[in-house]
Amino acid sequence: MSIRIGVYGASGYTGQELIALLDAHQEFALTFAVSDQFAGQKVPQSDLTYRPSDAVDIVAVDMVFLCTPHGASAPLAAQALDAGAKVVDLSADLRFQSATEYQQWYQQPHPAPALLPTPYGIPELNRYNLININAIANPGCYPTAALLAVAPLAKVGALESFAPVIVDAKSGVSGAGRAPSETTHFVEVYGDTRPYKIGRQHRHTGEIDQELRIMFPDAGPVIFSPHLLPIDRGLICTAYIPLKENWTQSQIREVYEAQYYAEPFIRLLPYGETARVKDAVRTNGAVISLHHPVPEMVLVVCAIDNLRKGAASQAIQNANLMFNLPETAGLITST
Amino acid sequence: MSIRIGVYGASGYTGQELIALLDAHQEFALTFAVSDQFAGQKVPQSDLTYRPSDAVDIVAVDMVFLCTPHGASAPLAAQALDAGAKVVDLSADLRFQSATEYQQWYQQPHPAPALLPTPYGIPELNRYNLININAIANPGCYPTAALLAVAPLAKVGALESFAPVIVDAKSGVSGAGRAPSETTHFVEVYGDTRPYKIGRQHRHTGEIDQELRIMFPDAGPVIFSPHLLPIDRGLICTAYIPLKENWTQSQIREVYEAQYYAEPFIRLLPYGETARVKDAVRTNGAVISLHHPVPEMVLVVCAIDNLRKGAASQAIQNANLMFNLPETAGLITST
Amino acid sequence: MSIRIGVYGASGYTGQELIALLDAHQEFALTFAVSDQFAGQKVPQSDLTYRPSDAVDIVAVDMVFLCTPHGASAPLAAQALDAGAKVVDLSADLRFQSATEYQQWYQQPHPAPALLPTPYGIPELNRYNLININAIANPGCYPTAALLAVAPLAKVGALESFAPVIVDAKSGVSGAGRAPSETTHFVEVYGDTRPYKIGRQHRHTGEIDQELRIMFPDAGPVIFSPHLLPIDRGLICTAYIPLKENWTQSQIREVYEAQYYAEPFIRLLPYGETARVKDAVRTNGAVISLHHPVPEMVLVVCAIDNLRKGAASQAIQNANLMFNLPETAGLITST
Amino acid sequence: MSIRIGVYGASGYTGQELIALLDAHQEFALTFAVSDQFAGQKVPQSDLTYRPSDAVDIVAVDMVFLCTPHGASAPLAAQALDAGAKVVDLSADLRFQSATEYQQWYQQPHPAPALLPTPYGIPELNRYNLININAIANPGCYPTAALLAVAPLAKVGALESFAPVIVDAKSGVSGAGRAPSETTHFVEVYGDTRPYKIGRQHRHTGEIDQELRIMFPDAGPVIFSPHLLPIDRGLICTAYIPLKENWTQSQIREVYEAQYYAEPFIRLLPYGETARVKDAVRTNGAVISLHHPVPEMVLVVCAIDNLRKGAASQAIQNANLMFNLPETAGLITST
């Protein structure tokens, strides 16, 4: 018996990645893949063809993955839930606790405020909220890496209250999506590296702020500096975390080990090693290293694949929890 | 006294490259740079702003460079010539001897057949046709490399009559232009190398055919295989040239030395070395190496910069000839 | 019951790739991984540590993969066969029919001539020679692509007798191995593309020649032009194949379809599509497209992953045949 | 009349870059280029051949550029100064005020402590120390970018006393030098981005600390995180600078404008724009942008070319000052 899956927004980079992962998943069976732009064309990694959104019946599936843009996702989520299907929304629509916050960062009214709040799905940080539920907001790629880096300290209250938490992050170009633009033109990206929307301009800032403050209400503002790297995929961030005085370095290490020691997708590197993009690419893993240059500040490096743990494979991981399947199903090859 | 220059199509990669080169040229002074798309914005490497085409007066300049698309260039060329300005057309409009050939390769009627034939401007191959004249067809990037590789043998009649001449060519992405598209999206190009329009489909095939047959009427068909390389600029081709039986290897070497020994922009490598893209990038040079694996076939490798010798700097070189300036003016730094 | 596997030369790029593939193979169990240079270090994708060659017992395994350099492989192969273990040799040592040919291309006496000839393992071309045997010479990366491109025509005798067959090939840098050198320095490769050892200088030329002449004794000399691409992995070649006059285009297409229609790892593209590197990367597949620009010549493009179908995964495919396992075992994910 | 120049360590990436720049400099004439490794080979961009160090006579030149490793440079500097030649040392040997500091960061005794202190040469920050003098310590690539970003605020005392100053920096691979290693192997770098020696481990940390404290004695420790980017050249850093409370945003902007408004090589971007690597590559320029996400912290992005402003062209700029030449000589093309 398979769980029947529908994917909306299936032709973008995240959608394609998701479909390739679904193809290797024993319990999930792709029933339809929606793309208005590529309707009628073959779906890579599948025997299906893309179908226009008005030609699929949401009742035919047990769950949907929404890789649609923000604004378009929430109405589809509402429709799916009404029809009895579970939802993992990979857009930003369900990530904020309140419609007010959403409007502040996305400059538009929330399209389905009744759906808020929806659990925010990083299983390593809040797994107990995600099991057997019907809807999950799949986090942004940058927030996934940033929160995996900072959360253990936030949860135990080791952050210096109200002090800025700096996240200097770097991502491959697939994070910018499949639509051609000057920003993603090969000649523009090649040989370059550029920060963009740095400080508190990027929309992911709000997501990181919100989640940190849930864990530690006195968390200071996130200073978030995304950079565009001349690679296709992969994401790495260094978080500069100001510490409360009474936390020692060995306590810090223990905090991360306690949080992550049993996590199949987290690799906490030993001292002396530093996480790098390549460690994480094409996996659902997050690779984390800790560095203590001065007593008052910890540096945490976290590398993920922006299309996997930052999007599609984390969505699968969340879906596994929703159906009470083994969390690693379809994500780790067993022999 | 400066020669006043107008550039049409000034915002594309070739136009930008040309303007940077004009900035370093002692005799040419940029008077206007036309771009309808970027009208009003600052021209990089210049104090000017882009102007729309209907806001410039062709009478104000002594010559124009046309970096406009095929179809749009020829009418501008006619207008400039009527106004007494010289023309270097970097599009394909003036490259064919006849409107019939043009229509065959570009699937549209020639927009100004009275301008044909116009001299085809590769100074190292036909300099005597280019001095003091009023209009030059600037060759395509691929034909420049291919013809510099094959022409010396064609001119002396060493090609096996009617046998296919194979040109396997590889170019950086700037050759595809500045307009964003799926083909030029960073994620599509990164990690890939792809042949496209191979055989006799690419429009540059006709140009190479035409010029080879002018040099050697019995030249066989060109088999032309362009590839898109994951680099921003640079172009390299390997030509596989079938030889007439009565030509020996030492004669072949002499042919290339005789053709190119005095050329400031051609570097004929000694035996044992092989041309590479990096040798030519950011220069007006062509780097050529000869290889004789079997008696009946010579391999000639030729590397150029597609935006320089393949477009903008060759246009300057041609313009220098048109005004009887030193051919290297603005192209080689003198100390 | 698992088949016990030893890997020699396990720390190079091919060895690492092989170990990752073995990890996903249900029937093969890695028993030891030999690397003198990295002895004592952890083997990536495995729970083992690298062991020095003198600390492993070849009797403990059922087969060995030799990723050792030419010259070093053949003695190990002899030793393994004596001990009753099967052998897939990924070096050049067992590829030639005779020690004379080997010496001609490798400038050294063959280290174990009694092992020659050993079957040359491209299953799509000579599967019947490979089943249940004890030793296979795993082909070079370039010859794999070149032969998959040319072999169907050679086998049916459609090649123009004695006419040169041109193979213009391009490979990612991992093909040059893991040892650091000027040639593989990032700064040297970045932004460049370079032909090397072109004509008939590269050692793989001999391998391609030999195999083509087995299929078609009148095959002309291979003109082989390898290029170094600025990518990490992937290989593509375009073969320019002169045809006998009495072969029509539709016959040519039929020849390829007849050869490959049932092959799980070959994708013959429909007319109008062209193979590209990305089609094949990280798979055991070969993607092939056919092009007929002129009656007397066919162009065949073939893309593979140099580390997979060009080395490690083809080695697994060969090993599957040797043990009479399904040929796709460990190479295609089944759901 | 030309100033006669000798270059030691002339075959590395910095040495090659320097020689190309000297070739375009009207006042400097390259007399010899020393490389023991490449002795006898042709010097690119020059008519000379590399000479071994024991075959050149330091008396024959008016100044030397030392691109030699730390430890080897200082003795050459002493020798040159004794012979009456001026010195720009591109190694770390002359960068520290005291031999103690040097030993702390380089784990070896200083080879010529009598030469300390030598002026540290970033003309935009301390030009008055550099004119007409005999020896200059050319700064490291990372410190050049970091100090240009932070110095204006340090000089006016706007830094929060004793608070860490974070510099998250990213550099192309040429910064790692020309010697092949696993770290610089194309396959290792491609598709990756990796932090290394982050916190306070990298030797450039000491240089930045020292110079900041000269400007502002209460400067906190620098937290310095270098990253290796998959590009050949270019360097960008984002500095996160904690502010004293009494400094407003408009005052901050004025500080940078006051420091840099007349500098020919500094481009201070208007608000809303962000510096990127490409802005600076192949120039002696530094491109700087300012960002104020929260009142208590300023972000300053600075992009340079690690081989130019970070090494060779800044060395020329310093040499111009030493000989009282126009500071831009040989560095900006005039028409």
Instruction: Report pLDDT digits (tens) over B265-317.
Output: 999 999 999 999 999 999 999 999 999 999 999 999 999 999 999 999 999 99
- Does residue C335 have a pLDDT over 70? no
* Cβ pair A185:B180 closer than 8 A: yes
| Residue B334, pLDDT score | 43
Question: Taking the CB of residue D178, how many other CB atoms lie within 10 A of it?
Answer: 17
pLDDT above 70 for C334:
no
Query: How far is Cα D43 from Cα D330, in angstroms, rounded to an integer?
Result: 19
Which pTM was predicted?
0.96
Chains that touch C (3 or more CB pairs under 8 A): A, B, D
Query: What pLDDT is attached to residue D255?
Result: 97
pLDDT of amino acid D334: 43
For residue B5, what are the β-bridge partners?
Answer: B30, B63
Residue of chain D nearest C175, judged by CA positions: D187
pLDDT computed for residue D77 by the predictor:
98
Q: How far is C122 from chain B (nearest CA, A)?
A: 24
Q: What is the DSSP string of C203-258?
A: THHHHHHHHHHHH-TT---EEEEEEE-SSSS-EEEEEEEEBPTT--HHHHHHHHHH
The CATH architecture of the domain made up of B3-138+311-322 is 3-Layer(aba) Sandwich (3.40)
pLDDT of residue A335: 37
Using the Cβ of A232 and the Cβ atoms of chain D, whether some distance falls under 8 Å is answered with yes
Strand partners, A7: A33, A65
Question: What confidence score (pLDDT) does residue B258 get?
Answer: 97
Residue A4, classed as helix, strand or coil, is strand
What is residue A333's predicted lDDT score, i.e. its pLDDT?
Answer: 61
B84–C contact, CB cutoff 8 A: no
CA gyration radius, chain C: 19
CB burial of residue D323 (10 Å; 0-12, 13-18, 19+) = middle
Contacts of D26 in chain B (CB under 8 A): 335
For A232, residues 6+ apart whose C-beta sits below 8 A from its C-beta are A172, A173, A174, B186, B187, B190, B191, D191
Contact B46/B25 with Cβ under 8 angstroms?
A: no
By C-alpha distance, the chain D residue nearest B2 is: D335
Radius of gyration of chain D (CA): 19
Using 70 as the pLDDT threshold, list the residues of chain A that sit under it.
1, 333-335
Please report the ipTM that was assigned to this predicted complex: 0.96
Per-residue model confidence as pLDDT tens digits over C5-60: 999 999 999 999 999 999 999 999 999 999 999 999 999 878 899 999 999 999 99
Q: Which residues of chain D have pLDDT under 50?
A: 334-335
Q: Are C112 and C74 in contact (CB under 8 A)?
A: yes
A191: which chain C residues are within 8 Å (Cβ-Cβ)?
191
Tell me whether residues A335 and C24 touch, CB distance under 8 A.
Answer: yes
Q: What is the pLDDT of residue B335?
A: 37
Residue C142 distance to chain A (closest CA, Å): 26
Q: Which residues of chain B have pLDDT under 50?
A: 334-335
* Positive or negative torsion for Cα C167, C173, C178, C180: positive
Closest CB to D23 among B25, B191, B335: B335
pLDDT at B41: 96
Q: What is the pLDDT of residue D335?
A: 37
State whether residue A334 sits within 8 Å of chain C by CB: no
Asked if D278 is an interface residue toward chain C (Cβ–Cβ < 8 A), one would say no
Nearest to C119 by CA among C101, C137, C141, C143: C137
- Write down the domain spans for chain A: 3-138+311-322, 142-304
Closest CB from C223, C232, C238 relative to B195: C238
Of B184, B191, B230, the CB nearest to A180: B184
CB B256 within 8 A of CB B280: no
- In angstroms, the separation between the Cα of residue A284 and the nearest Cα of chain B is 20
Instruction: Name all chains with 3 or more CB-CB pairs below 8 Å to chain A.
Output: B, C, D
**How many residues are there in chain D?**
335
Q: Cα dist. D332→B21, B283, B308, D121, D335 in Å?
A: 14, 18, 21, 19, 10
Structure-token pair, residue A71: 């604004």
Q: Is C175 in contact with C306 (CB distance < 8 Å)?
A: yes
If we measure between CA atoms, which residue out of B147, B116, B282 comes closest to residue B212?
Answer: B147
Q: Is A67 a catalytic residue?
A: no
Q: Which of residues 156-195 of B touch C (CB under 8 A)?
A: 164, 166, 168, 170, 191-195
At C71-89, the pLDDT tens digits run 999 999 999 999 999 999 9
- What radius of gyration do chain B's Cα atoms show? 19
Q: How far apart are CA C158 and CA C244, in angstroms?
A: 5
State residue C248's pLDDT score.
85
Q: Are strands B235-242 and B297-304 parallel, antiparallel or unpaired?
A: antiparallel
What is the percent of chain C where pLDDT is above 90?
Answer: 95
Class of domain D142-304: alpha beta
pLDDT tops 90 at residue C246: no
Catalytic one of C67, C141, C237, C302: C141
Is the Cβ–Cβ distance between A34 and A51 less than 8 Å? Answer: yes
- Give the residue on B whose Cα is nearest the Cα of C202: B293
CA distance D264 to chain B (A): 15
